Structures are given as C-alpha cells and as structure tokens.
Amino acid sequence: MRIAALYDIHGNLPALEAVLDEVHAVGVDEIVIGGDVLPGPMPRETLAALRSLAVPVRYLRGNGDREVLELRAGGDAAAVPAAFRDVIRWNAGQLTTEDAETVADWPAVVEVHDNAVGHVLFCHATPRSDTEIFTRLTPEERLRAIFDDGGAPLVICGHTHMPFDRTVGRTRVVNAGSVGMPFGEPGAYWLLLTPDVELRRTSYDLTAAAARIRRTAYPQAEDFAARNVLQPPSEHDILRMFATAELR
C-alpha cells in the first residue's frame, strides 16, 4: 500500500492542486488528510476538490477545522486568538450545511493497519491533543510518555507546519509539514508512506497562486499571499517562537 498524507492545507487550493497532481503521478492507494483543511482563503473550493478525488480518502480533524465549526455553531469568538478571529468567522460563514456536516464527522485520529506499512497512527498535533506544540528540537523526555502510550510504532502528525523525522522512545514520529502554509522554503509539503516514509516538497507557480488568493474575499488575503505563499517565515524564526509555547 502507498499512502499520501496531506496536512495543514488551510484553504490554499493552488498548493493542493499541485500536490494532488504529484500524488496521482506516483500512484497512491489512499490519501489521509491530516487536519486543518480550514481556515484559509478558498475553503469551499478546497473541500470540493477533496470530495472529488477518485482514490479513497480518510480525514481527521485539526484545531482549525474544529474552531471554524464551533464558531459556526454559535461558539464564543473570544476563545479564538484575536489575530485569527476574522478569518475563522469568515470561513465559518463560507461553509454550506453539507460542508459543516462533512467536517463535523472527521475523527481526532486515524489508525491504519496494513501488511505493507504496518500499524500507523495519524493525528493532528499529538495523539491526545489537536493543539499541543512540539518540534524536531523539543527534548525527548517531554514527549516520551505521550508517544510510548500511543501503541503505534509510527505516528504521523502535523500542526506546526515544519516537516521532521525523529524517534521518541520506541516510536518513530514524523511531521508531514504543511501543504498550504509552510514555514521555511516556499512550496507544498506532504508525505508519502510506503514500507518507509518519504518527506516530499512540491513546487508550484507561487506568483499565480498568490494572484488567485488576492482575488478572494478572504480577510487576510494579501498577508496570506505574501507570507504563506511567496515568502514564508524561516524555520529558524518559527522554531525560536515555538520554543516558548512547546510542551513542558
């Protein structure tokens, strides 16, 4: 079996389209969408593109997806950081009833048992949380209890938008990176799972993608195009920022 893991798309349809072209070219048997399809500049279009796929797709829910649904259902916007309230509110207003019902059905984790790839657990941030932050630099002793209790020898995660491949205790933990909002070199990051794990980066036309995003009504379209597509923050800067928020 060959599985493509696509995480943190964040409504960046041009990036998703480029990745899907490559996914189809390498011939996968299944796709796992690892959460945070939302929020982003093209939420309805992104969900429609995923629904149209001909290969089997499994979904799990990320914190962004959850927060959009909670606000759409009348939740308190004060629970969302101020910098993200407008985009969460806008995405909530973009979803149809069918969209919201679809996302609401996504589980927090997905497990795969297969003779080729073995036992794999897919989660958004960690197996117990969709918001916990850790990186390739987080000391192993802070993480061992989380992953040793997970039961799977391989855990695939996302959430922090930076790919890595590390070992925590008895568990191989791989971050698939972000399709739509990467930190580091521009591009669309994803993961190909075979009997091994291959971290991949897909190049796409960034200028054309930025122009498409700027034409949307997304409240932060210009910032998304400039900072999440054309010139993302460096991994060094994000690692330094996350060091104050990571698991203790």
Domain boundaries, the chain: 3-242
- For 62-117, the pLDDT digits (tens) are 999 999 999 999 988 777 788 889 999 999 999 999 999 999 999 999 999 999 99
Q: What is the mean pLDDT of residues 113-141?
A: 96
One-letter identity of residue 155? V
- For 169-200, the pLDDT digits (tens) are 999 999 999 999 999 999 999 999 999 999 99
Residue 128: pLDDT band with limits 50, 70, 90: very high
DSSP letter (8 states) at residue 228: I
Give residue 78's pLDDT: 75
Q: What is the DSSP string of 112-145?
A: EEETTTEEEEEESSBTTBSS----TTS-HHHHHH
One-letter identity of residue 30? E
Give residue 201's pLDDT: 98
Give residue 83's pLDDT: 85
- Residues in Cβ contact with 189 at an 8 Å cutoff, skipping those fewer than 6 apart: 163, 176, 177, 178, 179, 182, 199, 200, 201, 202
User: Across the chain, which distance is largest between two alpha carbons, in Å?
Assistant: 47
Task: Determine if the pTM surpasses 0.75.
Answer: yes
The 3-class secondary structure across 16-45, one letter per residue, is HHHHHHHHHHHCCCEEEECCCCCCCCCHHH
Q: Which CATH architecture has domain 3-242?
A: 4-Layer Sandwich (3.60)
Give residue 77's pLDDT: 72
Residue 150 has pLDDT above 80, yes or no: no
Q: Which two tokens stand for residue 84?
A: 């993200």
Give residue 149's pLDDT: 75
Say if residue 127 is preceded by a cis peptide, omega within 30 of 0. Answer: no
Give residue 191's pLDDT: 98
CA-to-CA distance for 71 and 92, rounded, in angstroms?
Answer: 7
CA-to-CA distance for 13 and 121, rounded, in angstroms?
Answer: 26
- For 4-41, the pLDDT digits (tens) are 999 999 999 999 999 999 999 999 999 999 999 999 99
CA-to-CA distance for 183 and 207, rounded, in angstroms?
Answer: 17
